[in-house]
């Protein structure tokens, strides 16, 4: 087994700020509001609100005529969050939301996926597993996560980690729909398909009311 550390940051890049330069590393960037251009040595991608980018190379992030708020996941070997915060970028802010240890089986080749999950009011995800661990953060609404004998409620901007191999039951508020953004690592065989596995046989024939959208995914080269 290999232990990796996954960090989630909330970054703010003001309009017309100097570009931010990120070193080589496995990461996902999701635009919470505003827009940025993500530029690597070989490509560039314009990211608008609600879109995402995954990368394993050095990356430049450039804002335009409005402030950009980003949720950025960084996967690495170090336990020091400061190693992944914005450096030499005094116009910006970078706040750690959550860090989690990920236990990854060396026998797999792993991919990183960033996606969104949207529930209707009073939605639920039956007790389930995923094929890999990661960190989620609520964009809108409210979700209750029940796992390992504990229950936690997460509102907008709240982040939590899931191990993947540990069963989870989730339910959402009746007042509104709920959306969370998720970055997790999965075996490469799951590329393009759902990683969800329903635990209880009696739940497997029930309708799944949540909607998934894969925003970006990439097989990681170190595995």
pTM: 0.96
Residue range 9-50, pLDDT digits in tens: 999 999 999 999 999 999 999 999 999 999 999 999 999 999
Q: Which CATH architecture has domain 2-104?
A: Sandwich (2.60)
Instruction: Identify the bridge partners of residue 145 per DSSP, sorted by sequence position.
Output: 152, 170
Is 41 strand, coil or helix?
A: coil
Q: Cβ neighbours of residue 215 under 8 Å, at least 6 residues apart?
A: 30, 51, 52, 114, 115, 116
Please check whether the two domains, 2-104 and 110-219, share a CATH topology. yes
Enter the tokens of residue 48. Answer: 């608008």
- Could you give the residue ranges of the DSSP H alpha helices within 33-115? none
pLDDT at residue 78, rounded to an integer: 75
Whole-angstrom Cα distance, residue 175 to residue 197? 28
pLDDT at residue 107, rounded to an integer: 94
pLDDT at residue 88, rounded to an integer: 81
Residue range 145-156, pLDDT digits in tens: 999 999 999 999
pLDDT at residue 60, rounded to an integer: 96
Q: How many CB atoms lie within 10 A of CB 167?
A: 16
Q: DSSP character for 69?
A: E
Superfamily of domain 110-219: Jelly Rolls (2.60.120.10)
pLDDT at residue 222, rounded to an integer: 67
Domain ranges of the chain: 2-104, 110-219
In this prediction, the residues of the chain whose per-residue pLDDT falls under 70 are 222-223
Is 142 within 8 Å of 153 (Cβ atoms)?
Answer: yes
pLDDT at residue 85, rounded to an integer: 86
């Amino acid at each position: 087994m290999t232990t990796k550390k996954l960090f989630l940051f909330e970054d703010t890049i003001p309009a017309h700020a100097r570009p931010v330069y990120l070193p080589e590393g496995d990461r996902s960037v999701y635009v919470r509001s505003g827009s940025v251009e993500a530029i690597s040595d070989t490509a560039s991608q314009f990211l608008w609100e609600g879109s995402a980018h995954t990368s394993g190379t050095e990356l430049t992030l450039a804002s335009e005529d409005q402030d950009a708020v980003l949720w950025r996941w960084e996967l690495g070997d170090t336990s020091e969050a400061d190693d992944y915060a914005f450096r030499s970028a005094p116009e910006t802010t970078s706040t750690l939301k959550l860090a989690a240890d990920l236990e990854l089986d060396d026998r797999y080749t792993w991919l990183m996926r960033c996606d969104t999950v949207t529930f209707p009011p009073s939605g639920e995800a039956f007790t389930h597993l995923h094929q890999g661990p990661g960190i989620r953060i609520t964009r809108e609404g409210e979700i209750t996560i029940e796992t390992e004998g504990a229950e936690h409620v997460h509102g907008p901007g709240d982040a939590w980690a899931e191990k993947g191999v540990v069963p989870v039951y989730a339910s959402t508020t009746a007042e509104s729909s709920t959306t969370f953004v998720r970055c997790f690592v999965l075996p490469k065989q799951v590329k393009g398909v759902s990683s969800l596995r329903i635990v209880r046989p009696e739940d497997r024939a029930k309708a799944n009311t949540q909607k998934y959208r894969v925003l970006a995914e990439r097989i990681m080269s170190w595995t």
